[in-house]
């Protein structure tokens, strides 16, 4: 096992060394622009929530804008997530949140970002037909592959906590993981 | 700068939408509606109908003598021992809230005391049906989607020349297993025959079984728990019938057990037994119930019905058999064509000749279709009006005449209280059976009242 890990590390290091790192700095400039994009992928309820509804596919859109401190961006993100169950319960989530994205200072052709944020989530439950907005928090990470001046392709994974425990009678929060492939564009603004 | 304005607008949006007050994820994992199903006429007790066990399966009242005519003394007939029920789904006023399959296999061996009846389905405790809670609202009916209803110990007799001899026990697939028994669910239809054109249409009575909720279910999440109790009259309400069919040209008869045809009489040669399941539902919120208690007037049943309901909704004017006999336009049904086997086809033509003879004998007493007296339309309409509106009481308890009767967990409201002696085996109540014991007015939570 240990040998395998060492082999993977060596292979990865060689891969980075032979990559055209000279192009990285120019790509970094493009990546620093405002960005807009879409994502699509599996949405998975976890912990208590995962005991009652099942995974499905979801998708969303986002917009990111630069902040004075270069590695940081401010993003707004929204998505549509619909969860089925073995019974008749259905859950629809439409989170709308701000997040701060921090670009890790690793000078590589790929971009790794950490993100954390908060916002509101519209929760709709069937068959009760309850629809309301709840506060929510999120944390996640993203690996982006710049594809030219304009486009980026990324793999993203986010954890969303829909916070309800402050309500009378509430004992549980909502927990979901969003993973997905995203395509987004650098805007020349 | 314009993006700062956009962010400012979004922040205003967040501040305006406000947060909800329903703990959705807690509701998702919890269950406030408790659905209970029972197989007795009694609300919270074991069955005190005349016991089926100990009776002879080959004689009345267990054998339905006007249905069983081909094998009148089944050499291998024994009483059923197990009742099997397979429920696919439950809905409230057509709205989905519980699509969990529930399979119940209940022994019929228990006695008429709580100590001697171990089956929850029959001892007043009931079997809980899993559900996902409906939305807040008022519901008037609950629909049971029943896949199968089986009593075991059904026997097949086959034609061997001039006699019918025992062949084997009937088998059916129940809960993905072969079991001995007969699924009478498939026969829970009512047919409407056009005897002249030899056509019929069916009304399916079981998928779903429409159960009225007496007093309605007012479901509100503010209540910690709400109980919906569904009762089917099963225990000690069983009769033996005969199902005729051809199997590869061989005439066969299956003796099977199903629910009593006291309401809609089943006669020889008929396969449909629909609208003979008596079901009712009631609802209450634990902690918001009262008690009705008084001294029993004698051995029998005490029932409580919503005040103002006509007691005749809970009775019929005569037994179903008498009602059907009184219908002079109850014309005979034609035989069904048996298929490709020559002996069966010859049998069919013989039966068809008999059908014509019976029809000609009967049609003389029903000469009109829509006008004139008697006429076909009025005769059937009055029959349907009598049997189709029959219901059973939401609260029923056995009173042995030596002490008090007591209804626990009675929803708030006003009730008329009636008493009747125990009906004969396989029967319920006809007009005049109930004696009024008075009315309980405005029963409130925590109160104990006697009828006045």
Report domain extents, chain A.
Answer: 25-186
**Nearest chain A alpha carbon to B23:** A170
Report which of residues A18 and B260 the model is more confident about: B260
Interface of A with B in 137-156 (CB under 8 A): none
- CB within 8 Å: B25 and A170: yes
CATH of region A25-186: 2.40.160.20
Q: Give the separation between CA B167 and CA B255, rounded to whole angstroms.
A: 11
Model pLDDT, residue B199: 67
Tell me what the pLDDT averaged over chain A comes to.
82
- CB within 8 Å: A167 and B23: yes
> Could you read off the pLDDT of A94-115 as tens digits, one per residue?
999 999 999 888 877 788 899 9
Q: Give φ, ψ of B105 to 5 degrees.
A: -125, 110
B144, B208 Cβ separation under 8 angstroms:
yes
**What does the longest C-alpha to C-alpha distance in chain A come to?**
59
Confidence class for position B10, pLDDT limits 50, 70, 90: low
DSSP line for B240-285: EEEEEEEETTEEEEEEEEEE--SSS---TT-----S---EEEEEE-
Model pLDDT, residue B310: 93
DSSP B379: H
Q: Is the pLDDT of residue A25 over 50?
A: no
CB atoms within 10 A of CB B250: 14
Q: How far is A95 from chain B (nearest CA, A)?
A: 12
Confidence class for position B297, pLDDT limits 50, 70, 90: confident
**Average pLDDT over every residue of B226-244:** 94
Q: How far is A1 from chain B (nearest CA, A)?
A: 41
Confidence class for position A33, pLDDT limits 50, 70, 90: confident
Model pLDDT, residue A16: 43
Model pLDDT, residue A109: 78
B164-172 contacts: CB < 8 A, separation 24 or more? B164/B70, B164/B71, B164/B251, B164/B253, B165/B75, B166/B74, B166/B75, B166/B76, B167/B252, B169/B76, B170/B254, B170/B256, B172/B148
**Nearest chain A alpha carbon to B7:** A76
Model pLDDT, residue B339: 76
| End-to-end alpha carbon distance in chain A | 49
**Average pLDDT over every residue of A35-62:** 90
Q: Name chain A contacts of B14, Cβ cutoff 8 Å.
A: 96, 119-120
Model pLDDT, residue B268: 86
Closest CA to B300 of B387, B393, B231: B393
Q: Is the pLDDT of residue B128 over 90?
A: yes
Share of chain B above pLDDT 90, in %: 57
Confidence class for position B195, pLDDT limits 50, 70, 90: low
Q: Give me the count of residues in chain A.
A: 189
Q: Is the pLDDT of residue B298 over 70?
A: yes
The partner residues of B381 in beta bridges, in order of sequence, read none
- CB within 8 Å: A88 and B17: no
- CB within 8 Å: B19 and A88: no
Q: Is the pLDDT of residue B283 over 50?
A: yes
**Average pLDDT over every residue of A148-161:** 88
Model pLDDT, residue B342: 85
**Average pLDDT over every residue of B60-66:** 90
Q: Give the separation between CA B12 and CA B16, rounded to whole angstroms.
A: 6
CB atoms within 10 A of CB B135: 16
B415, B314 Cβ separation under 8 angstroms:
no
- CB within 8 Å: B28 and A53: yes
- Let me know the angle formed at the C-alpha of B65 by B60 and B66, rounded to the nearest 5 degrees: 150
Q: Which H or E run includes B192?
A: strand B189-194
The partner residues of B207 in beta bridges, in order of sequence, read none
Q: Is the pLDDT of residue B7 over 80?
A: no
Q: How far is A34 from chain B (nearest CA, A)?
A: 11
Q: Which two tokens stand for residue B90?
A: 């439950």
From A24-28, A119-123, B20-24, B444-448, the region with the lowest mean pLDDT: A24-28
Q: Is the pLDDT of residue A15 over 50?
A: no
Q: Is the pLDDT of residue A22 over 50?
A: no
Q: Give the separation between CA B66 and CA B383, rounded to whole angstroms.
A: 19
Confidence class for position A18, pLDDT limits 50, 70, 90: very low
Q: Which two tokens stand for residue B443?
A: 């029963």
Q: Does A51 touch chain B (CB under 8 A)?
A: yes
- CB within 8 Å: B25 and A48: yes
> Could you read off the pLDDT of B353-371 as tens digits, one per residue?
998 999 899 888 988 888 8
Q: Which two tokens stand for residue B226?
A: 């709400």
Residue B447, Cβ density class (10 Å: 0-12 exposed, 13-18 middle, ≥19 buried): middle
């Amino acid at each position: 096992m240990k040998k395998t890990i060492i082999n993977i590390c060596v292979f990865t290091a060689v891969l980075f060394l032979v990559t055209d790192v000279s192009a990285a700095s120019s790509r970094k400039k493009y990546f620093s622009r405002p960005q807009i994009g879409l994502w699509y992928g599996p949405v998975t309820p976890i912990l208590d929530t995962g005991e009652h509804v099942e995974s499905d596919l979801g998708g969303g859109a986002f917009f990111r804008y630069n902040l004075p401190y270069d590695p940081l961006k401010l993003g707004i993100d929204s998505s549509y997530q619909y969860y089925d169950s073995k019974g008749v319960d259905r859950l629809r989530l439409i989170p709308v949140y701000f997040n701060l994205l921090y670009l890790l200072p690793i000078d590589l052709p790929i971009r790794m970002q950490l993100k954390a944020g908060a916002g509101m989530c519209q929760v709709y439950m069937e068959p009760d037909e309850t629809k309301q907005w709840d506060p929510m928090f999120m944390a996640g990470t993203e690996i982006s592959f710049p594809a030219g001046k304009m486009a980026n392709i990324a793999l993203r994974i986010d954890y969303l906590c829909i916070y309800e425990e402050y309500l009378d009678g509430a004992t549980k929060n909502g927990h979901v993981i969003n993973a997905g492939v995203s395509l987004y564009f650098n805007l020349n603004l | 700068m314009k993006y700062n304005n956009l962010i400012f607008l979004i922040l205003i949006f967040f501040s305006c939408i406000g947060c909800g007050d329903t703990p959705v994820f807690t509701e998702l994992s919890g269950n406030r509606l408790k659905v209970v199903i029972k197989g007795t006429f009694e609300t919270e007790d074991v069955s005190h109908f005349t016991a089926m066990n100990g009776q002879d399966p080959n004689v009345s009242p267990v054998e339905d003598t006007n249905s069983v005519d081909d094998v009148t003394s089944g050499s291998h007939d024994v009483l059923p021992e197990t009742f099997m029920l397979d429920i696919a789904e439950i809905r409230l006023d057509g709205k989905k809230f519980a699509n969990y399959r529930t399979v119940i296999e209940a022994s019929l061996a228990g006695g008429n005391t709580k100590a001697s009846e171990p089956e929850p389905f029959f001892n007043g405790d009931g079997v809980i049906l899993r559900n996902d809670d409906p939305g807040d609202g008022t519901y008037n009916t609950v629909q049971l989607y029943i896949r199968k209803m089986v009593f075991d110990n059904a026997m097949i007799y086959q034609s061997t020349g001039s006699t019918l001899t025992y062949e084997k026990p009937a088998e059916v697939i129940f809960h993905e297993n072969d079991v001995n028994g007969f699924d009478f669910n498939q026969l829970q239809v009512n047919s409407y025959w056009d005897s002249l054109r030899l056509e019929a249409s069916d009304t399916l009575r079981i998928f779903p079984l429409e159960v009225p909720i007496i007093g309605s279910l007012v479901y509100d999440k503010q209540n910690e728990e709400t109980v919906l109790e569904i009762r089917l009259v099963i225990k000690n309400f069983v009769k033996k019938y005969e199902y005729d069919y051809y199997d590869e040209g061989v005439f066969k008869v299956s003796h099977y057990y199903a629910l009593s045809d006291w309401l809609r009489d089943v006669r020889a040669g008929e396969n449909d037994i629909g609208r003979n399941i008596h079901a009712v539902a009631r609802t209450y919120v634990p902690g918001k119930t009262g008690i009705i208690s008084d001294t029993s007037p004698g051995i029998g049943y005490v029932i409580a019905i919503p005040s103002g309901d006509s007691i005749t909704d809970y009775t019929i004017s005569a037994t179903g058999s008498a009602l059907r006999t009184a219908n002079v336009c109850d014309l005979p049904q034609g035989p069904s064509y048996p298929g490709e086997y020559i002996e069966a086809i010859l049998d069919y033509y013989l039966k068809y000749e008999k059908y014509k003879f019976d029809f000609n004998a009967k049609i003389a007493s029903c000469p009109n279709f829509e006008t004139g007296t008697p006429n076909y339309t009025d005769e059937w309409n009055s029959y349907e009006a009598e049997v189709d509106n029959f219901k059973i009481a939401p609260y029923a308890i056995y009173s042995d005449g030596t002490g008090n009767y007591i209804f626990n967990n009675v929803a708030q409201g006003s009730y008329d209280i009636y008493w009747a002696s125990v009906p004969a085996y396989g029967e319920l109540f006809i007009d005049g059976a109930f004696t009024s014991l008075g009315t309980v007015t405005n029963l409130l939570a925590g109160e104990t009242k006697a009828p006045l």
